[in-house]
Amino acid sequence: MPVPFETLIPYVIITAMFGVTGAGLSGIRHYAGGGKKHRWSLDTWDRVLMDRDRRLTGVLRGQTDNAIAPPGFEVNQPWRGEKRFS
């Protein structure tokens, strides 16, 4: 006995919603990553370099080939000073 087509409609809807969700998540990751692939297994050194690249270019995943840093970069450092005792 064949399966009526009315029973397949919910399965098609569920599969379509999984596809739309996956495509949307992929698009958001692509846009947030600057059009580059997602990075895996980041260690502390990678995070430090990503922060440096963000301070140099203004974009987290941006990189530059300038040998000379832009003006003001010498005072733009990620280290936070200690709080004073009061």
23-36 residue pLDDT tens:
999 999 888 888 88
Provide the token pair at 47.
Answer: 């995070």
Based on the number of CB atoms within 10 Å of its own CB, is 61 exposed (0-12), middle (13-18) or buried (19 or more)?
middle
Residue 11 has pLDDT above 90, yes or no: yes
Question: Are 34 and 28 spatial neighbours (Cβ–Cβ below 8 Å)?
Answer: no
- This model's pTM is above 0.75: no
The one-letter amino acid at 1: M
